Amino acid sequence: MKLSGYATKINTLRTTAIVGIKDESPTVKTYTLQDDLCSKAKPGQFLMLWIPGIDEIPLSILNGGNGQVQFSVKAVGDATRHLHDMQIGDLLGVRGPFGNSFTETRGRVLLVGGGTGTAPLLFLAKRLAAKIDRLSFVVGAKTRKELVFLEELDAMCTDESAIATTEDGSYGLHCLATEPLESLLDKQKFNMIYACGPERMVRKIFDIAEKRKLPMEASLERLMRCGIGLCGSCMIGKYRVCKDGPVFKMAQLSEIKNELGISKLGFDGSRIDI
């Protein structure tokens, strides 16, 4: 038996019925599936979700435990809209969990999430909560309707509540999620910044962290087909986001500076702007 049993097992497609659906916002829903392997995922890992007859897409894991796994999905196109139309009891296929995870740190941590990119950070925050001194959250979205997990985020934060920003000012600060950062970092010392969200947001945070010489970890998204480091669809620089990532550390982010927030591979392998 050449392929290690475990690798084969996590990559084997399991079909399982939806056991829970929760509306997080008009465009985002959280799904719960029964799946042993993914229920043991660590924050930052993702799964490949098969929507039978439609598509198979990568999704970050929002939570796992007791044989169940959750993920939140924003309806943006064909696959995600089909998913939003599905009901409890409908069958989905799942393989994974794939990829690496955030490293757990101590001390003071700052989490910056954009849109559904907040999901893996919320997962991380839950694991960190008991172990760290201070946890601050900044979350951004285009508009109030897309700001998700707000209550849960508030509950995670140490002192004041999570800082929310919207691009249209419909809730919280009227700006991008990156804007409150500089003043936050001026006021307080943080041992680690964790980021996940639109890549241009991640890039801005990276630039700030680099300037201030702060450690940072970011979870990235790329087009994914195989999810197991084989097909090359998800390359960023010399890294495969599905296997070497999706979480990258400061030094790695530096190495991929000329792509981060700038360009990615399209479905046909050509380079397209972000």
Partner 1 sequence: MSNSLLTVNIAGMNLGSPTALASGILGYTAESLRLVAEGGAGAVVTKSVGVAPRPGYPNPTVVQADSGLINAVGLPNPGIDFYVEELTYAKSLLPVPLIVSVFGYTAEEYALVSKKAVEAGADAVELNVSCPHVKYTGSEIGQNPKLLTDVVCKVKAAVQKPVIVKLSPNVTDITELAKAAENAGADALTVINTVRAVAINVETQRAVLSNIRGGLSGPAIKPIALRCVYDVFEAVKLPIFGCGGITDWRDAVEFFLAGASAVQVGTAVGSEDPTVFQAINRGVASYLKRKAYGSVNEIVGLCHQD
Ligand X SMILES: Cc1cc2nc3c(=O)[nH]c(=O)nc-3n(C[C@H](O)[C@H](O)[C@H](O)COP(=O)(O)OP(=O)(O)OC[C@H]3O[C@@H](n4cnc5c(N)ncnc54)[C@H](O)[C@@H]3O)c2cc1C
Ligand Y SMILES: Cc1cc2nc3c(=O)[nH]c(=O)nc-3n(C[C@H](O)[C@H](O)[C@H](O)COP(=O)(O)O)c2cc1C
* Binding of residue 36 to partner 1 (CB under 8 A): no
The answer to whether residue 231 forms part of the interface with ligand Y (CB under 6 A) is yes
**Residue 5 binding target from its own copies, ligand FES, ligand X, none, CB below 5 to 8 Å by type:** its own copies
Give me the least distance between CB of 124 and partner 1, in Å please.
26
223 lies in the site for ligand Y, by CB under 6 A: no
Residues contacting residue 177 through CB under 8 Å, at least 6 positions apart: 112, 113, 114, 138, 139, 140, 165, 197, 201
Residue type, 163: I
Residue 7 binding result from ligand X, partner 1, ligand FES, none, given CB thresholds of 5 to 8 Å by partner type: partner 1
Least distance from ligand X to the Cβ atom of residue 57, Å = 3
Q: Which is nearer to ligand X, 77 or 269 (CB)?
A: 77
Q: Minimum CB separation from partner 1 for residue 188, in Å?
A: 38
User: Binding mask 213-252 vs ligand FES (x if CB under 6 A, - otherwise)?
Assistant: -----------xxxx-xxxxxx-----x-x----------
90 binds, among its own copies, ligand Y, ligand X, none (CB under 5 to 8 A by kind): none
Number of residues that bind ligand FES (CB under 6 A): 12
Q: Which residues bind its own copies (CB under 8 A)?
A: 1, 5, 8
131 phi and psi, to 5 degrees?
-100, -10
Could you tell me whether strands 192-196 and 216-219 are parallel, antiparallel, or unpaired per DSSP bridges? parallel
Site residues for ligand Y per CB under 6 A: 230-231
